[in-house]
Structure 1
Amino acid sequence: MSVIVWSAVVSLAAWLWLLLAQGFFWRTDVRLPPPAHDGPPPLPNSGDWPAVCVVVPARDEAGVLPRSLPTLLAQDYPGRAEVFLINDGSTDGTGDLARELARGGGLPLTVASPGEPPAGWTGKLWAVRHGIGLARARAPEYLLLTDADIAHAPDSLRRLVASAHAGGFDLVSQMARLRVESVWERLVVPAFVYFFAQLYPFRRIGRRGSRTAAAAGGCVLLRAGTAERARVPDAIRQAVIDDVALARAVKGGGGHIWLGLAEGVDSVRPYPRLHDLWRMVSRSAYAQLRHNPLLLLGTVAGLVLVYLVPPVALVAGLAAGSAAGALAGGLAWLMMTGTYVPMLRYYRQPLWLAPLLPLTAFLYLLMTVDSAVQHYRGRGAAWKGRTYARPDAVPDEG
């Protein structure tokens, strides 16, 4: 029992540190930033609003486009704005469907095709590059990079631009609210955002001088001038985890960035089966670890210690009559559960899911190991018919 006791004590210490010293990652109140006291004034008049070009990379998205693209075309934006949908080799009629949806009116839509990506480029970033190239002819001040499965509230673009302007941000990103309807989505999706925030605490991302940088690729508002100075997307052309790579490129060049949870920015893509969620996570998990076996071992050990030891220690301690093991394990599990509650509330899910976080963490552990196995089998990161066997990894968090 001494091993269980000491493991539980170390796990409890880890949770105390996570609770108090990891940027309050568990809080969900980081939303679009209010105007800075010393920043530029708001934009009250329609003539003052900067021009924006929206770039939407799309590959075989006919299933979700009717629920997402009309929300972009219907944006209530006081300034000049237009949408560029980049049809990345779709075989399901995505381009024709987009043109049909645009007949309903709204913002101008251009549908273009970039051709197959050359060696060294991921398909999405090649499409984004083509879209940014088309947008430059319109001389926009901002670019909105958003995925084809993201639906926006009518005031989404207005709020993004106002927040970027008032806060002096070069990049403003919102973590879109993912769909949570099936049993597996309820179990896995809120934890996905919870783990992301634990790795990249939102409060640190928006702090000047902090080295923490991340974005959510579904919704990124980026100053066009900043993109050009940071050589985006050329500088990150091989990145599978392109949103984090983008944020690091911008912040590394001296840009001020912000990331928070979204209101009115929602993913409409369904992940009804565990297989769908498994593929979403495993396709890039080992890239996040830089394809390093030592980092993989450390990650597995960390997940076991932080998430699996507490319930095991509680049960084993009670069974063996070890008050110390049961107490340390129970307190660690209680802290884990408590920090997960705000995310479940944000996703409007029942709170009885919170104690099940160790089970979800175990699933993520298996997904990460599977990601490494697929990499060494030569399959790498596979997505919609393309496989990136050895994608560039995102640099260390530092």
Structure 2
Amino acid sequence: MSLPSLLAQDYPGPVEIFLVDDGSTDGTGKLARALAEEHGGPPLTVDSPGEPPPGWTGKLWAVRHGMTLAAARPDTEYLLLTDADIAHEPDSLRELVRAARGSGLDVVSQMARLRVVTVWERLIVPAFVYFFAQLYPFRWVNRAGARTAAAAGGCVLLRREAAERARVPEAIRHAVIDDVALARAVKRSGGRIWLGLADRVDSVRPYPRLGELWRMVSRSAYAQLRHHPLLLVATVAGLALVYLVPPAALCAGLVEGRPGLWAAGGGAWALMAATYVPMLRYYRQTLWLAPLLPVTALLYLLMTVDSAVRHYQGRGAAWKGRTYARPGAAP
């Protein structure tokens, strides 16, 4: 869990940690207090908000509870929202605050480097961030006048005044993809946001098997498309056209003896692989994974379709035993 790394933060100012226990059954609170006694560090408060009321997702209900506890401290300037599986380097908080103050930012969010150890993690995890960056180009997110907004929920530094101005989290209480919704709310209220890849913030959550990675993606993939069938069709068609057609064209051209077809397919495949190389380098993975991007794209296509099927079966966007309705159905 992230608590030891938070207790060890080297920050030149007052810090307080609020651990919100969202209905865990593994003795989280007791373990957290024992860790605080062992490691020392900033004051720790462990509390539980209880079950969320109608119209609230569990995570945002927990976030609201933690923000309310922090707001009771009159000198609170920034709120660091982080997940239990995120490990921070000792200077993480200091650098986040420095970036926010230095550039006048209301949100500074870093995409934690996800764990990449098993074969399936190597095949799927870097592509997860690659596709996310295509859906939400970081340059557009960080541009003040652009409408594109996104954040990475594992590490979000939020200015308290900006949260109050944007009515976060009340204004986004039903959002399944809460990090993107938070960034949109802050940006729409006139705030400045920044999103980038992390060098000193890591996720320690393992996804060793395909089934666990599949559930991670399919849990919210259709929600990312706003539960819109036309967006689903466009996404599936786009993935097929960009990532599946080039290798198919290459193979067909070789079989049929059509040089123009296999040259076009091979060139498009090579260009696709080249755009994936920077992400593989960021994750310190072999570049031989780049030509396998069509295989990964096919898996993501199937995960997205499965997410839509689960939604219409009433099993979509499920987390900790809770299944959430589409946004339009929430009060």
Name the counterpart of 1:297: 233
State the 1:390 CA deviation: 2.7
Name the counterpart of 2:120: 184
Q: Is the 8 A contact 1:380 1:390 kept in 2?
A: no
CA distance in structure 2 between the aligned counterparts of 1:362 and 1:303, rounded to whole angstroms: 8
State the 1:180 CA deviation: 0.3
Q: Among residues 53, 59, 63, which one is paired with 1:128 in the alignment?
A: 63
1:357 matched to 2:290? The reply is: no
State the 1:99 CA deviation: 0.9
Name the counterpart of 1:9: none
Q: Is the 8 A contact 1:287 1:392 kept in 2?
A: no
Tell me the amino acid that sits aligned with residue 206 of structure 1: N
Deviations 1:327-386 (A, max 9, x none): 111111111100100100100101100000000000000000000110111112111222
1:94 matched to 2:28? The reply is: yes
Name the counterpart of 1:70: 4
CA distance in structure 2 between the aligned counterparts of 1:195 and 1:211, rounded to whole angstroms: 19
Tell me the amino acid that sits aligned with residue 313 of structure 2: R
Of the structure 1 ranges 214-223 and 320-329, higher mean CA displacement relative to structure 2 is found in: 320-329
Tell me the amino acid that sits aligned with residue 353 of structure 1: L
Deviations 1:56-79 (A, max 9, x none): xxxxxxxxx2xx210001100001
Structure 1 stretches of 5 or more lacking a match? 1-64, 394-398
The sequence identity of aligned pairs, in percent, is 78
Of the structure 1 ranges 377-386 and 182-191, higher mean CA displacement relative to structure 2 is found in: 377-386
Q: Is the 8 A contact 1:174 1:259 kept in 2?
A: yes
Q: Among residues 184, 188, 192, which one is paired with 1:248 in the alignment?
A: 184
1:267 matched to 2:203? The reply is: yes
Name the counterpart of 1:147: 83
**Secondary structure of residue in 1 paired with 2:168:** coil
> How many residues align structurally?
327
Q: CA RMSD in A?
A: 1.0
State the 1:234 CA deviation: 0.5
TM-score normalized by the length of structure 2? 0.97
Name the counterpart of 1:204: 140
Q: Among residues 138, 145, 150, which one is paired with 1:214 in the alignment?
A: 150
Q: Which has the higher contact order (CA 8 A, sep 6+)?
A: 1
1:113 matched to 2:51? The reply is: no
Tell me the amino acid that sits aligned with residue 57 of structure 2: T
State the 1:95 CA deviation: 1.1
Name the counterpart of 1:34: none
Tell me the amino acid that sits aligned with residue 184 of structure 1: W
Deviations 1:148-181 (A, max 9, x none): 1000000000000000000110100000000000
State the 1:391 CA deviation: 4.3
CA distance in structure 2 between the aligned counterparts of 1:287 and 1:109, rounded to whole angstroms: 34
Matches within 5 A, 1:1-398: 65=1, 68-104=2-38, 105-139=40-74, 140-391=76-327
TM-score normalized by the length of structure 1? 0.81
CA distance in structure 1 between the aligned counterparts of 2:31 and 2:326, rounded to whole angstroms: 34
Shift in CA distance, 392/216, structure 1 to aligned 2, threshold 3 Å = farther
Tell me the amino acid that sits aligned with residue 307 of structure 1: Y
CA distance in structure 1 between the aligned counterparts of 2:228 and 2:140, rounded to whole angstroms: 26
**Secondary structure of residue in 2 paired with 1:264:** strand
CA distance in structure 1 between the aligned counterparts of 2:218 and 2:174, rounded to whole angstroms: 18
**Secondary structure of residue in 1 paired with 2:146:** coil
Q: Is the 8 A contact 1:238 1:392 kept in 2?
A: no
Tell me the amino acid that sits aligned with residue 118 of structure 1: P
Structure 1 runs (4+) greater than 6 angstroms displaced: none
